A = this chain, B = another copy of it.
């Protein structure tokens, strides 16, 4: 009885081999082993994804708060004027704070999807959602970092042609904080690129 059922089992794949559906045969034959090992690799990727997101949250919150608290008041003042520099003096830095805060919030909200990918490594929908949203958010993050970086460059070096004088000689600490925030956010961009590549590879292995 058992032998009979075995011959039926073996016979079935061989007839299928003649048909063109090669993948279906493989999936049936190697079945559980292949699914399990692929699931392991996918779960590994998903765990790495989750850890990267945690790191990116830390980096973006750090960048946004360093920029937000960057402020310097010079120790001398005239009757009418106190010399002070803050992130809200320059629109590019305001944009940086808002955009990076949005990115950090998005990363927190994306954690559940990342957890779903760990629990169910073969689910395609959360992966695709993460990839598309990551792509949108990385452009937001890059634009914030680049806008702030170009203003920071100007603050350091000034520009002779347009007669914009550097302000970092006066506001050294402010410029240093701002530069730190920009560099931290650039690291977050690298994290995002790795996250997108992970999602793409996980989708491919489906």
CA gap between A85 and B164 in the complex, in Å: 14
Measured CB to CB, the closest approach of chain B to A22, in angstroms, equals 11
CA distance A77 to B189 in the complex (A): 46
A128 touching B21, Cβ below 8 Å: no
CA–CA, A91 to B156, complex, Å? 13
A131-166 toward B: CB 8 Å interface, digit per residue (1/0)?
110011011001111111111011101010111110
Number of interface residues of A (CB under 8 A): 55
Residues of chain A from 158 to 195 with CB closer than 8 A to chain B in the complex: 159, 161-165, 167, 189, 193
Q: Does A89 contact B (CB under 8 A)?
A: yes
Which residues of B lie under 8 Å from residue A147 when comparing CB positions? Answer: 146-147, 149-150
Interfacial chain B residues near A27, Cβ < 8 Å: 21, 24
A153 to B20, CA, bound (A): 60
Closest B residue to A31 by CB, please name it.
Answer: B21
Report B-chain residues with C-beta under 8 Å of the C-beta of A124. 204
Determine the chain B residues whose CB is within 8 A of the CB of A146 once the complex forms: 142-147, 150
